[in-house]
Structure 1
Amino acid sequence: MTSSPPSVLIVEDETELAELFAQWLSEEYDVRVATSGEEALEEVDEDIDVVLLDRLMPGISGDEVLETIRERDLSVRVAMVTAVEPDFDVLEMGFDDYVVKPLFREDLQRLVSGLLERDEYDQQLAEMFATASKLAALESHKTEAELAESDEYRRLKDEFEDTRHRIEELESRMETGDFEAVFYDFEDADL
């Protein structure tokens, strides 16, 4: 059984540009195109993995589409792909990336790939934290002897290590794949 390719919704009111973006991505992804905010809201659903969203469109703007996507609590990565230079208003917006046009084929492909990598990373991280919580609960209430005798505990420890390795591999791919503009490095942040 083969899994279906990730799906990308391109929201762009310039039809020629939308078609060009779709052509650039269609070899690797299931691509849908919407040429208005209204059409975007009809198209976006749980089957969409990434939305490439123009900010300035007649009718419903990209900002409004983004807000509605987040209100619907859809599990989708959204990149604003726009001619609008960012201003401080972007601080309140719920996008995953912000890219100013023009974009070339490699830029667009790297953007989508980076967003998908980030999504996989988040899923693996959540899995690792859930497993770590289970391990901590057992370790705080069971003796070392009880833990040593438990096949379930060993399986959980192995699962934790496997997930940790997958996360490290994803981090390595993101770093070597030049996703720095797409992926924020929390290790360098002053939290």
Structure 2
Amino acid sequence: MSESDGSAGEQPTVLVVEDEEELRRTYELWLASDYEVLTAAEGEEALELVEDGVAVDVVLLDRMMPGLSGKETLSEMRDRGVGAKFAMVTAVEPDFDIIEMGFDAYLTKPVDEDRLRDTIDSLRSQEAYSDALDEYTSLLAKKETLKTRKSEEELAESDAFAELETRLAELEAELEDADSGAGDDAGFVAALRSIDEGTQRTEPEES
């Protein structure tokens, strides 16, 4: 376990949970200038860290690790009330099982520095959102991930994907019907929807 030279409390804290030492060091090197970076080589080590009361803002989780998997580590952290944002950073191709996972972003390796930083910045910006918008952004990330990896036929045949789209529509309606105090949230939902639609239009076709 290690951390950057930044003073505690002055920078947001990112916990990198990755069993490959070279990747842990690479992510830490990329992030250390702007974040306090903590690292763990396995899920159990990460759980011990948060159990000791270390405050974490964003957790980057590999899915396939010795001992506890990333999915199990994520579930344990959620159960223990860890209030961080979670991004899966993994070589595992996403399948429909990701719909039931409690992550906020899903990155498929290899990941470059800009994409990793952009994801962390985006997750950090969500901290003040309402619970409904939190759920909306999480589900939208899962929808976008599946749409880039599954064929239209597979999506159409999936009951889980249909339920995801139904829940997204319910959340959109809930946020857009909110009172004036949530007006900014509703506008953000519209912006997210337009980004999602733009992603669908520009997604390159596989050869």
TM-score, structure 1 as length reference: 0.63
| Secondary structure at 1:120 match in 2 | coil
Partner of residue 65, structure 2: 57
Partner of residue 127, structure 2: 119
Partner of residue 138, structure 2: none
Match for residue 109 of structure 1 among 100, 114, 117 = 117
1:42 is aligned with what amino acid? E
Partner of residue 35, structure 1: 41
Match for residue 16 of structure 1 among 3, 18, 22 = 22
Moved over 2 A (4+): 120-123
C-alpha offsets along residues 45-87 of structure 1, whole Å, 9 cap, x if unaligned? 5610100000000111111100101111221100111000111
Deviation at 1:43, TM superposition (A): 1.7
| Secondary structure at 2:14 match in 1 | strand
Measure, in 2, the Cα distance between the counterparts of 1:58 and 1:90.
20
C-alpha offsets along residues 12-60 of structure 1, whole Å, 9 cap, x if unaligned? 0001101100110111111100011111111235610100000000111
2:10 matched to 1:4?
Answer: yes
| Secondary structure at 2:126 match in 1 | helix
Q: Name stretches of at least 5 consecutive residues in structure 1 with no aligned partner.
A: 127-159, 182-191
Q: Name stretches of at least 5 consecutive residues in structure 2 with no aligned partner.
A: 1-8, 135-178, 197-207
| Secondary structure at 2:25 match in 1 | helix
Partner of residue 76, structure 1: 84
Is the 1:46–1:76 contact (alpha carbons within 8 Å) kept by the matching residues of 2? no
Deviation at 1:122, TM superposition (A): 3.8
Is the 1:66–1:94 contact (alpha carbons within 8 Å) kept by the matching residues of 2? yes
How many residue pairs align between the two structures? 137
Where do residues 157-172 of structure 1 align in structure 2 (5 Å cutoff)? Answer: 167=184, 171=188
2:117 matched to 1:96?
Answer: no
Percent identical among aligned pairs is 44
TM-score, structure 2 as length reference: 0.59
